[in-house]
Copies of this chain bind each other. A is one copy, B any other.
Amino acid sequence: MIGHGFMGAAHSQGWRVAPRFHDLPVRPEMTLLVGRSAGAVDAAAEKWGWQETATDWREAIDRDDIDVIDIVTPGGSHAEIAIAALAAGKHVLCEKPLANTLEEAEAMADAADRAGTDVFAMVGFTYRRVPAAAFARDLVLSGAIGDVRQVRASYLQDWLVDPEAPLTWRLKKDQAGSGALGDLGAHAVDLAQFITGQKVTGVSGLLNTFVHERPIPLDAIGLGGTPGLDRGQVTVDDLALFTGRFDGGAVGSFEATRMSTGRKNALRLEVAGTTGAISFDLESMNSLGFYDATAPQTRQGFTEIMVTEPDHPYLSAWWPAGHALGYEHGFVHQAKDFIEAVSEKRQPTPSFPDGLQVQKVLAGVERSAASDSIWTSII
């Protein structure tokens, strides 16, 4: 695994726990953890249970006893690492967003293609693996809500509400690519497409930055700086709003924001079809709303399905009905699905081309927002 931030903890838990609950064809070994700072990577490896460490990611790629490279670094480094890993015949799991630029994402998709039919690459849109989201897709694809007409997708957080929150790399366009759009909007787009089975073909968007200057973090000021006084420019969006059309005829709205006061992790999706609807909110991740418009009129309503039954996706491996799963279970399921697919020489999903397609949607939003919200096709 390359990287050991927040996502490193989540991925480690995925690899560690997957074989303890799921019956897997092979058991993953947590061989090597790579990070730029020797001290930090050693501490992380000790805590999370990685056997060895390195400070250069190329070491991982050079080793013959390593089959899988898991990339959890910031987006700007994804392309270089993933392309090298694939060229070396390693399977790759890469955190989302696939890359910071469309060019990099395209190069990665090309690399995955060139890697041949025995080497696989996957991008980490983990929320697909929340059981309620996976079950939502099952319902929609089974026809339970008829033809999908309308989509309402949003991902709302609020950790940037405070104007004194520091100017981290996530707020600089050159390092993060974009703001809420790439960080959160990518999830909203992927989940909407996953659950509806339809792809976005055009968008009209608007980006907004509410707080334009923020304090430079202490560790970036240097000796001469004054904490709180030195301020730098926020160069990414705080809020992205866009409408979209899907290739199956659906029409939808999207929102991504890190400034929706009171919403902590509200990835919400509402899908309305000709004979039903579904409603999901990640803040209540073990349940799914389902409306069946074919039920007797007086008994219709949104059914709050607790998605914890043995026959729900992923659930047979876990606890009795009614016992909740949490955030990191998505990473356990991701590890399981990746291991199973690669072992069986199947392409795991979402693939790098899937990740690229999401990047194209986001790029379309940026182009539209830069041109007075003009309608913009996604090609």
Contacts and interface: CB of A to CB of B under 8 A. Distances in A.
A239 interface: yes
Given A299-B305, A301-B303, A275 B253 contact: no
Copies of this chain, complex-wide, total 4
B264 A321 contact: yes
Contact of A259 (B145, B150, B239): B150
A135 B299 CA distance: 10
Interface string A39-62: 000000001110000000000000
A169 interface: no
Given A304-B304, A375-B373, A311 B297 contact: yes
Given A300-B305, A301-B303, A241 B261 contact: no
Interface in A81-119: none
Interface in A282-296: 282-287, 290-293
Nearest to A47: B20
A329 interface: yes
Interface in A106-148: 135, 139, 145
A349 interface: no
B283 A290 contact: no
A325 interface: yes
B150 A243 contact: no
A13 B17 contact: yes
Contacts of A306: 264, 283, 301
A12 B20 CA distance: 9
Contacts of A224: none
Interface of A: 6, 9-10, 12-13, 16-17, 19-21, 47-49, 135, 139, 145, 149-150, 152, 154, 157-159, 161, 163, 204, 206, 208, 210, 239, 241-243, 249, 251-253, 255, 257, 259-266, 270, 272-277, 282-287, 290-293, 297-306, 308-309, 311-312, 319-329, 368, 372-375
